Amino acid sequence: MTPFAYVAARLIKPSALLVSIVAVYLVSLVNADDHVSRTPSDVVQVQMHNIQYHFTNDIGVHIDVLRGELVPTKGNPMPVFDDKNSFTLRISDALIAIDASSMAAVLNTHVFSAPNSPVKDVSLQVEKDELKVKGKLHSKGDISFELDGTVSATPDGRIRIHGTAIKALHLPVKGLMDFFGVQIATLIKNHRVPGVAVEKNDLILDSQQILPPPHIQGKVAAVNLAGDSIGLVFGTPNKISLSQPHENYMQYKGNRIQFGKLIMNDTDLTLLDMDSKDTFDFYLDHYKEQLVAGYTKTTPAFGLRVYMRDFHKLPHLSATAR
C-alpha cells in the first residue's frame, strides 16, 4: 500500500521525436506566479498517477494522484520545459506525500539555509500521530531544541505544526516558538525565510513556497501523518477519474509546449513507466537519460506515448545521485 492509499483512508533511442517528448515533463512542476491570470487557452491540462518525483538528490515527493494545469508565468507565452521558471503547476486535486527526511532536507537546504537563520540542523520523525522536530537554535549558541507537534491545514491552505511539547537543552520550555518566532518574523520581513510563519507555539509552512524549483501552486485541504510521511491533500482527489487507471503516468493535454527548439501544438503527450508494477521514479535533472533508456510510440492522431525507465534503474546515475 502506498503512503497515499493510507492517507486517503485517513483524511529511446535518441531521435528528434524523443527530444520533443522530454520537455513535456518539465512542464509538470515549476515556479508559482500567484498574480498572473490566464485564459483557458494558455494552460496545459495535467494528470498524474503514482509518481516518485525528485526535486534534488535529497528532496522528493510521492504523487499518488494529481489533476491540474501547467500555467505559463508572466512573460512566457507557453510552458518551456527547459526553463523551470516559465510555468507553474497549478493543482486542483491531489494526494502528495513527502517523507520526514525529505521535509527535513527542505527545511535545512531551502527554508533555513541562510547563514543568519535562527534554526539549523533540523531533523524530523513521525511517531504515531505526532511529528517530532529536532534542531539547533543558531541565534542562541546552537543550543538543541525538540518539538513534538500535531499537523493540520490552516483555513488558507498552509501546513500548521502545533507544538504540544517543547524542550531546550532537554528542559521543558514555555513559549520557545515565541522566542525564535521573533527571529523568524524579522527574516520573513526581509524575505530571508520563504513560506514560514510563526503563531505562538505553531510553525506554519506554505507548500507553495518551501519546495525548491519547480514549485507548485494550490491550497492544502488536509494534512495527515502516515508511516514516515506527511500526507498533503489538495481539493477532492477521490473524485479524479483517471484516463489510464492501470498505468503510472504523467499526461499533458492541450495548448502548446516548447522543449528545446521544438514546439508541440495541441499537446497530446503521455510519459509512461516502462514497468507499471512499481512507482514511476522520475528525476527532472536526469530526464534525458531516462528518456534515452526507453522508447516512444506515435498515435494515429500524432500524440506521443513515451515509455521511460525509472531513475533508480539507471545505476550509473542513481548511484551518483545518492
In terms of C-beta distances under 8 Å and separation of at least 24 residues, what long-range contacts does 205-210 make, across chains too? 205/111, 205/158, 205/159, 205/161, 206/158, 206/159, 207/158, 207/159, 207/232, 208/32, 208/34, 209/32, 210/106, 210/107, 210/110, 210/111
Q: What are phi and psi of 261, to 5 degrees?
A: -95, 0
Please state, in angstroms and rounded to a whole number, the distance separating the CA atoms of residues 273 and 261: 25
Please state, in angstroms and rounded to a whole number, the distance separating the CA atoms of residues 317 and 81: 21
Encode 247-265: b = buried (16+ Cβ within 10 Å), e = exposed: ebbbbbebbbbbbeeeebe
186 has a pLDDT exceeding 80: no
Selected residue with higher pLDDT from 189 and 316? 316
Q: What is the pLDDT of residue 36?
A: 42
Q: What is the pLDDT of residue 171?
A: 64
- For 50-73, how does the pLDDT look when each residue is reduced to its tens digit (9 = 90+)? 999 999 999 999 999 999 999 998
Predicted structure pTM score: 0.81
77: helix, strand or coil? coil
Tell me the pLDDT of the chain averaged across its residues: 81
* Cis previous bond, 214, omega within 30: yes
DSSP 8-state secondary structure symbol assigned to residue 80: B
Query: Residue 99: beta bridge partners?
Result: 229
Please state, in angstroms and rounded to a whole number, the distance separating the CA atoms of residues 86 and 9: 36
Task: Please give the grid coordinates belonging to residue 59.
Answer: 528532496
Please state, in angstroms and rounded to a whole number, the distance separating the CA atoms of residues 231 and 229: 6
H or E, element range at 9 = helix 3-9
How long a stretch of residues is the chain? 322
Selected residue with higher pLDDT from 23 and 167? 167
CA atoms within 13 A on the CB side of 22: 27
DSSP 8-state secondary structure symbol assigned to residue 128: T
Q: Model confidence at 175, in pLDDT bands (50, 70, 90)? A: low
Task: Please give the grid coordinates belonging to residue 159.
Answer: 501546513
Q: Model confidence at 319, in pLDDT bands (50, 70, 90)? A: low
- Exposed (0-12), middle (13-18) or buried (19+): which is 268, by Cβ within 10 Å? middle
- For 139-160, how does the pLDDT look when each residue is reduced to its tens digit (9 = 90+)? 677 888 888 999 999 999 999 9
Encode 80-94: b = buried (16+ Cβ within 10 Å), e = exposed: bbebbbbbbbbbebb
What percent of the chain has a predicted confidence (pLDDT) above 90?
Answer: 44
Q: What is the pLDDT of residue 181?
A: 57
| Domain ranges within the chain, ordered by starting residue | 3-93+214-321, 101-210
Contact 88, 32 (CB under 8 A): yes
